[in-house]
């Protein structure tokens, strides 16, 4: 009986530590890291701010990389609340465009959110940390490559 109790305690402690480590606060994404990762891939980075006159004052940075197979958008906003609104708006668009067959993953933690969906041959990934948002839409066949890029950008 003593072994069972101690085993239960060990398992509970392991579960709690996994939960806490996965839900802790994260550092915001860095525009310079985004730039260096994209430049290392020889992608052309487009500054979207000049085209976005009506909401430009809400953004510190708004950069886009477009290839024929995927688009990667990085946004740094002036406040966390605006980043949450961008995250929720993009997520709603992605969810509205999904087909009847889809897979999705959602994370809502202390200062970050992640939503990922694959549907109809399209892979979408949205990630927010504090006032930064990373949004990727890609052909599903490029999911592995795009996830590797995301892993190099997200702290």
Identify the CATH number of the domain in which residue 137 sits.
3.40.1000
pLDDT of residue 26: 86
pLDDT of residue 23: 57
pLDDT tens digit sequence for 8-31:
444 444 444 444 445 578 899 999
Residue 61, classed as helix, strand or coil, is strand
pLDDT tens digit sequence for 99-155:
888 899 999 998 999 999 999 999 999 999 999 999 999 999 999 999 999 999 998
Q: C-alpha distances in angstroms, 149 versus 72, 110, 145?
A: 10, 24, 6
Judge whether 58 lies within some domain.
yes
Judge whether 18 lies within some domain.
no
Judge whether 40 lies within some domain.
yes
Reported in sequence order, the residue ranges of the chain that DSSP labels E, i.e. its strands, are: 45-47, 59-66, 70-77, 102-108, 112-119, 122-129, 132-139
Residue predicted with more confidence, 52 or 147: 147
**Number of domains forming the structure of the chain:** 1
Q: How far apart are CA 63 and CA 19, in angstroms?
A: 33
């Amino acid at each position: 009986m003593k072994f069972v109790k101690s085993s239960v305690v060990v398992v509970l402690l392991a579960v709690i530590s996994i939960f806490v480590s996965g839900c802790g606060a994260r550092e915001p994404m860095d525009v310079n890291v985004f730039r260096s990762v994209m430049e290392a891939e020889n992608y052309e980075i487009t500054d979207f701010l000049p085209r976005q006159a009506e909401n430009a004052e809400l953004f510190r940075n708004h950069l886009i990389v477009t290839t024929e197979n995927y688009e990667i958008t990085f946004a740094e906003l002036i406040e966390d609340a605006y980043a949450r609104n961008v995250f929720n708006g993009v997520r709603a668009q992605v969810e509205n465009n999904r087909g009847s067959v889809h897979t999705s993953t959602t994370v809502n933690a202390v200062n970050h959110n992640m939503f990922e969906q694959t549907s109809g041959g399209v892979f979408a990934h949205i990630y927010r940390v504090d006032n930064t948002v990373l949004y990727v839409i890609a052909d599903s066949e490029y999911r592995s490559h795009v996830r590797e890029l995301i892993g190099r950008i997200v702290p």
